[in-house]
Amino acid sequence: MVRRKYDVRRWSGRSTASGGGPAELRLIQYIRIEYRVPEFGWTTQKVFLLLNFLVNGVRSIVFACRRSVQKISPEIFQHMLLDMPALAFFTTYALLVLIWAEIHGMTQGICTDGLRPVFFKINAVVYAVQIFLWLLVWWKPIAVIIALAKIFFAGVSLLIAAGFLLYGGRLFLMLQCFSAESYGRQKKLQEVGYALATCFICFLIRCVMICFNAFDKAADLDVLDHPVLNLVYYLLVEILPAAIVLYVLRKLPPKRGIKLYQPIN
């Protein structure tokens, strides 16, 4: 029993480190961009990095306090603490889908003014439904309602996977048409392809695992009994896609005062 507790604490510490490390990298990247071009204000890249920092930071705190979290009463607060990082993760990668959709639209000369309102509306609906389900679980915590809440989360993950496949796929095909023109474009095509494939597969894995969990309590990974599986699961569905996307967005804006083009005399 003592060894069992030691193993749980050891793997909990590793899970905390795996979530805290990426959070620090995103904060450093955000600070570097803010220091280099503070006059740009809130760009989508800055918001994406900040949201990633918050998601990984909160997830690492939940990992560190897992034993305390599972002792919280009433149980609804446990569901909320475990679901909030996943909701924030949804918003973060919905923002990435929005960025790719805007890039594709602007390149094709399509008006993209309606994309941001749709992004905010989808997020508002998802959060409103999730709050309603939390209240429902609090009012009547029966197995059917808990399963319904998990199926909703699976549907949200499937929605994001479809968004990556649709808009990321369009951007990838568009870049593929110009990839032969330069080495830089070929490299960017590969990076977008890696990010697209990874994010799509990871959200699909999350969807499948949540569906299993909804109908089989033994498949629940958010418990102390599965510390290794818990770590592997979140490495696959959150930390891996975040690391690849951070690599794709690693390039900083040009420094202030640097002239990219010289006037022709």
Kindly state whether residue 5 falls inside one of the protein's structural domains.
no
Would you say residue 61 lies in a domain? no
Is 184 part of a structural domain of the chain? yes
Residue 212 lies in a domain: yes
The predicted model gives 142-150 an average pLDDT of 86
**135 vs 10, which has greater pLDDT?**
135
Residue 3 pLDDT exceeds 60 = no
Higher model confidence: residue 207 or residue 110? 207
> How many domains are there within the chain?
1
pLDDT band at 201 (very low <50, low <70, confident <90, very high): very high
Q: pLDDT tens for residues 227-239?
A: 677 778 888 888 8
Least confident among 49-53, 86-90, 164-168, 203-207: 49-53
**In this predicted model, what pLDDT tens digit does every residue of 29-79 receive, in sequence order?**
777 777 776 766 777 777 888 888 888 888 777 777 777 777 777 778 887
Asked whether residue 60 is assigned to any structural domain, the reply reads no
Say how far apart CA 45 and CA 51 lie, in whole Å: 10
108-124 pLDDT, tens digit per residue, is 888 888 899 999 999 99
Cα distances (angstroms) measured from residue 15 to each of 2, 22, 59, 213: 20, 12, 9, 20
Residue 114 lies in a domain: yes
| Cis-peptide, bond into residue 74, ω within 30° of zero | yes
The whole-chain average pLDDT of the chain stands at: 78
Q: Is the pLDDT of residue 202 over 50?
A: yes
- Separation CA 196–CA 190 (nearest Å): 10
What would the mean pLDDT of 141-151 be, rounded to a whole number?
Answer: 86
Structural tokens at position 10: 């050891």
**pLDDT, greater one: 204 or 230:** 204
> Considering the domain boundaries, does residue 21 fall inside one?
no
pLDDT value, residue 215? 81
Percentage of the chain beyond pLDDT 70 is 75
CA dist list (Å): 18 to 56, 90, 115, 193, 222? 9, 19, 34, 25, 16
What's the burial of 260, exposed, middle or buried (CB within 10 Å: 0-12/13-18/19+)?
A: exposed
What is the Cα–Cα distance from 115 to 101, expressed in whole angstroms?
8
Whether residue 58 lies inside any domain: the answer is: no
Kindly report the pTM of this predicted structure.
Answer: 0.79
Domain containing 109 equals: 74-248
